[in-house]
């Protein structure tokens, strides 16, 4: 809903938005089709039926719905504020990783000049994605049995405050040594939480960087490098958690798995550095003016969601 009062956002006075013609969107359509195939393929492999693509629908359909909600949240907020933005460019990741995709990006030709537009565009994607991800996760966890020790190797998903709360609301207190064995739809919902967490990292041109800069202005440019550096102690804690016990194991395979379990936040320390190098370490300034209406509350809610989604160890492979 438009604001009832106040001057119009400068982005809303921008030039007319480009039309969505086939030459402009054919790459978006191709990448989305490849991502659909890749995510269904990942779901089929997890289901133990790698040659039956449609068998992966219990994972693929909810995950794609979460991704679409997230990206089109950004897209429609950009259109509302008349910020020229492309349709999402989805990133397929066939037979690599555990999701089949790295999500999507939207290209913007213009700087977001309005503080209100910056907050709306930054927060709309994560909030829209969670509107889908949370019901998906509730349904999936409800169809996930609580089990004791799982024989053989398995992937242990990260535990965030929101995820633990959902498990407790569905199953009640879970006995020590037990956990839910995730249904494919629960995996998709949990993946939606992880992707939202990554997007909400308060750095650079990520969604969390937009929201934090809209709230705090130039103070965010001073905070962001310290946030990036804080990922290194997290990496060190995971090294202690996984690598130190593996050093006493005679099998080098266990040590390799332990290192792999430890490097998630080191990887994102590097990725954030690359993003800062190519898109600028400091967030571009917006034009003067306060956040109008309910936006400040939405900004703080979005940062609180980041805290509720944070996982010290996002994913780990467990080898008996």
Q: Give per-residue pLDDT as tens, 60-78.
A: 999 999 999 999 999 999 9
Orientation of helix 264-279 relative to helix 218-238, angle to 10°: 150
Question: CB within 8 A of 259, min separation 6: which ones?
Answer: 242, 243
Integer Cα distance of 55 and 42 in angstroms = 10
Q: What is the distance between the alpha carbons of residues 68 and 247, in angstroms, rounded to a whole number?
A: 43
Contact (CB, 8 A) for 220 and 283: yes
> Counting Cβ atoms within 10 Å, is residue 98 exposed (0-12), middle (13-18) or buried (19+)?
middle
Whether the predicted pLDDT of 110 surpasses 50 = yes
3-state secondary structure of 114: coil
pLDDT at 243: 93
Measured in whole angstroms, how far is the alpha carbon of residue 215 from the centre of its chain?
Answer: 21
**Closest Cα to residue 210, out of 128, 302, 131?**
302
Q: How confident is the model at residue 111 (pLDDT cuts 50, 70, 90)?
A: confident
- pLDDT tens, 223-274? 999 999 999 999 999 999 999 998 887 788 889 999 999 999 999 999 999 9
Q: Enter the pTM of the model.
A: 0.91
What are the tokens at 72?
Answer: 């089109």
State pLDDT tens for residues 170-210.
Answer: 999 999 989 999 999 999 999 999 999 999 999 998 999 99
Roughly what angle, to the nearest 10 degrees, separates helices 295-309 and 115-142?
A: 40
Placement of tokens 């969601």 in the chain:
305
pLDDT for the residue numbered 124: 97
pLDDT of residue 6: 37
Residue-level pLDDT at 51: 82
- Burial of 130 from C-beta contacts in 10 A (0-12 / 13-18 / 19+): buried
H helices of the chain, where? Answer: 22-46, 57-80, 115-142, 161-171, 184-199, 207-216, 218-238, 244-246, 252-262, 264-279, 295-309
pLDDT tens digits, one per residue of 274-291: 998 887 777 888 887 889
Task: Say whether pLDDT at 15 is over 60.
Answer: no
């Amino acid at each position: 809903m438009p604001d009832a009062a106040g001057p119009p956002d400068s982005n809303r006075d921008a030039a007319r938005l480009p039309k969505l013609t086939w030459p402009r969107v054919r790459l978006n359509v191709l990448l989305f089709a490849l991502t659909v195939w890749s995510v269904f393929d990942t779901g089929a492999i997890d289901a133990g039926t790698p040659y039956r693509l449609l068998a992966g629908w219990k994972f693929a359909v909810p995950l794609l719905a979460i991704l679409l909600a997230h990206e089109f949240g950004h897209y429609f907020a950009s259109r509302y504020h008349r910020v020229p933005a492309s349709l999402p460019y989805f990133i397929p990741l066939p037979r690599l990783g555990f999701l089949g995709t790295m999500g999507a990006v939207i290209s913007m030709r213009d700087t977001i000049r309005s503080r209100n537009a910056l907050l709306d565009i930054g927060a709309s994607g994560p909030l829209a994605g969670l509107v889908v991800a949370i019901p998906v996760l509730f349904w999936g966890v409800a169809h996930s049995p609580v089990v004791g020790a799982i024989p053989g190797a398995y992937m242990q998903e990260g535990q965030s405050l929101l995820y633990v709360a959902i498990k407790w609301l569905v199953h009640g207190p879970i006995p020590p040594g037990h956990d839910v064995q995730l249904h494919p739809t629960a995996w998709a919902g949990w993946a939606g939480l992880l992707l939202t967490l990554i997007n909400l990292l308060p750095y650079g041109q990520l969604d969390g960087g937009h929201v934090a800069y809209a709230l705090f202005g130039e103070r965010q440019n001073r905070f962001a490098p310290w946030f990036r550096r804080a990922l290194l102690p997290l990496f060190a804690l995971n090294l202690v958690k996984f690598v130190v016990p593996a050093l006493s194991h005679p099998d080098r395979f266990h040590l390799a798995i332990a290192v792999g379990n430890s490097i998630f936040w080191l990887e994102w320390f590097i990725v954030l550095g690359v993003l800062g190098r190519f898109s600028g370490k400091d967030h571009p300034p917006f034009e003067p003016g306060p956040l109008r209406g309910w936006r400040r509350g939405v900004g703080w809610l979005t940062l609180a969601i980041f805290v509720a989604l944070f996982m010290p160890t996002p994913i780990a492979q467990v080898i008996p």
